[in-house]
Amino acid sequence: MKKMILGLFILSLSFLNAQESEEKAIDGINFSELKDVIKSDFLAPTVEKKVERVQAIKIQKKKIDKKKYNYPTKDYFWTFLSEYWLVKNAAILKWDFQKPDYGLKNAIEELFEKLGLYQVKFRVLPINSPVISHFSLPGDNEENIYLLSVPFMRALDLSKTEIALLVLEDYFRLKLNFFEKNINAKQADSIIGKNFYQKKVDLKSIEGLLKNISNLAFEKGFNFQQQFEVTKKMDIMLKSHPVVWNKYFNLLEKIDKLVKTNALFSNYNKIYPSPEMQKNWLSPKKNVL
């Protein structure tokens, strides 16, 4: 037993000695000399290339990583914001309800084509609430979203052409940039297409814009000047189609009567001032003799 312990002790001593001598050997290597050897072996350019490649990959990786922190670009922003607003206000607007196919798609396409407005994309969303009678939200690639209140359409007993005329009015409101002006869309410029790498994401701007849209749709609406411009645009557009022009005039008359008699839609004049004025703007001026 004693012999065995002694043997093990000698073995461990020799192992330690071997390790020490190896370390000494490494210490003894002159690396600057080795560098010369590598140079003479033409390995230095390969090492340099490798280092450069690793550096390039690192830069590329950082770029990709940084790109993940982009805010939506202009091609995506407005569709995103409009849809997000609809999602946030789903409970108020009540658009998630079962309904028949009203055939609005064909009626709108027909009217736009009749007036020579081609390649106009649209998405119609009927809502089951009178809080908004009709309203348009911008979309990217001019694929706008049009909200139409079913209670409003029912109360007026609107025909498909009349509904399409309301959509046309809303189309011009977007075309004339009234929506962007009224929600102060300039505040979106600080984030559209920008990057927030190593910064805090600016959700306050998004919330501000959502609030402004709600304010425009439910409270503030459009001003007289804007309404005048829209009405004049409709007038010019429909003049060469007297039947449609008459339908538009009658539609304004219907709306005017409704908003004066039905408390449910009394807010209409605040948002779109005012059907009565619109009728006057459209009526030919009477000459007083």
Partner 1 sequence: MKSVFIILSFLVGYCPCEVQSKELGVLYFNRTFGHVHVKPENFSSSLTTLACAHPITVLEAPKEHIQNDWFFVKVGDVKGYIHHEFLSERRVDCLQDRFPKFFNALNLDLGELYYWGRLFDHFAEGESKAK
Is residue 282 near partner 1 by the rule CB under 8 A?
no
Query: Residue 263: exposed, middle, or buried by beta-carbon count in 10 A (0-12, 13-18, 19+)?
Result: exposed
Query: Residue 68: exposed, middle, or buried by beta-carbon count in 10 A (0-12, 13-18, 19+)?
Result: exposed
Contact between 122 and 143 (Cβ < 8 Å): yes
Bridge partners (DSSP) of residue 148 are 126, 134
Site residue total, partner 1 (CB under 8 A) = 41
Kindly state the tokens that stand for 175. 């075309």
CB of 107 to partner 1, least distance (A): 9
Contact between 125 and 109 (Cβ < 8 Å): no
| Binding positions for partner 1, 51-80, rule CB under 8 A | 68-72, 76, 80
CB of 122 to partner 1, least distance (A): 6
Query: Residue 31: exposed, middle, or buried by beta-carbon count in 10 A (0-12, 13-18, 19+)?
Result: exposed
Is residue 237 near partner 1 by the rule CB under 8 A?
no
Is residue 224 near partner 1 by the rule CB under 8 A?
no
Is residue 118 near partner 1 by the rule CB under 8 A?
yes
C-beta closer to partner 1: residue 85 or 268: 85
Binding span for partner 1 by CB under 8 A among 10-18, 118-126, 227-235, 278-286: 118-126
3 state SS for 152-169: HHHHHCCCHHHHHHHHHH
C-beta closer to partner 1: residue 169 or 256: 169
Contact residues for partner 1 (CB under 8 A)?
68-72, 76, 80, 83-84, 86-88, 90, 95-96, 98-99, 101-102, 104-106, 108-109, 112-113, 117-126, 145, 196, 201, 203, 206
